[in-house]
A = this chain, B = another copy of it.
Amino acid sequence: MSGVENADTKTAVIDLLGVLAYGTLIGFDRMAADARLAPDLRRRAVLAVMAADEMRNYELLAVRLDELGADPETAMAPFAEPLEAFHGATAPRTWLEGLIKAYVGDGIADDFYREVAEFLPEEADRTLVQQVLHDTRHADFAVAEVRAAVEEDPSVAGRLALWARRLVGEAFSQAQRVAAEREALTDLVVAGSGDITGIGELFKRLTSAHSARMKALGLSN
């Protein structure tokens, strides 16, 4: 690997940890606010605990950025705007919308980061990225809540499916923006995927896992 490639790879790693770090910080914010939509204190506490877990992950990411000689604040800065735009456009109005956002939105993001982690040169970074992905116990909670609500009142399913589609649309639109602006990170994903066919297959895996989540929720995709 040449010196230039090394520098590019380092930029890509810092970008990846930076976007993950800002993601945890704003994910914390938004989930903390969404917890207030809960119908009771028990459910409110579940979402608040999910939000709190984000900050545990933030701390791990900030420590690693420091180790790499990158200031966490500087590393996060390029991702503040697209992530704020995503969350601004997808503020849940109901408890169920909030849960679907946590499950469907974080699910697709986690799948993407899990794949990209495999392209990282350092074992420590690969492990760290896997570690900061969302806990599956949260997924189980969201699925149980949404399924129960849809079973009780099947008429909500259409509106919630539409909401999930909007989430994915907004996520892809902001991801495209990041891809256009952060060349080193995009190069890492392209090189890791091999070629254009590899990228196509990556997206196929992402959309197929998304369909499986929608099915688990009892919603049409």
Contact = CB atoms under 8 A, between A and B. Distances in A.
Contact of A56 (B28, B41, B52): B52
A202 interface: no
A44 B62 CA distance: 13
Interface in A39-85: 40-42, 44-45, 48-49, 51-56, 58-59, 62, 72-73, 76-77, 80
A25 interface: yes
A45 B45 CA distance: 21
| Copies held by the complex | 2
A33 interface: yes
A107 B160 CA distance: 44
Contact of A49 (B42, B45, B49, B55): B55
Contacts of A73: 40-42
A44 B53 CA distance: 16
Interface of A: 22, 25, 28-29, 32-33, 35-36, 40-42, 44-45, 48-49, 51-56, 58-59, 62, 72-73, 76-77, 80
Nearest to A80: B41
Contact of A25 (B22, B33, B44, B54): B44
Q: Which of A48, A49, A53 has the most B CB atoms < 10 Å from its CB?
A: A48
Contacts of A72: 41-42, 45
A59 B53 CA distance: 12
A214 to B, nearest CB: 29
Contacts of A53: 52
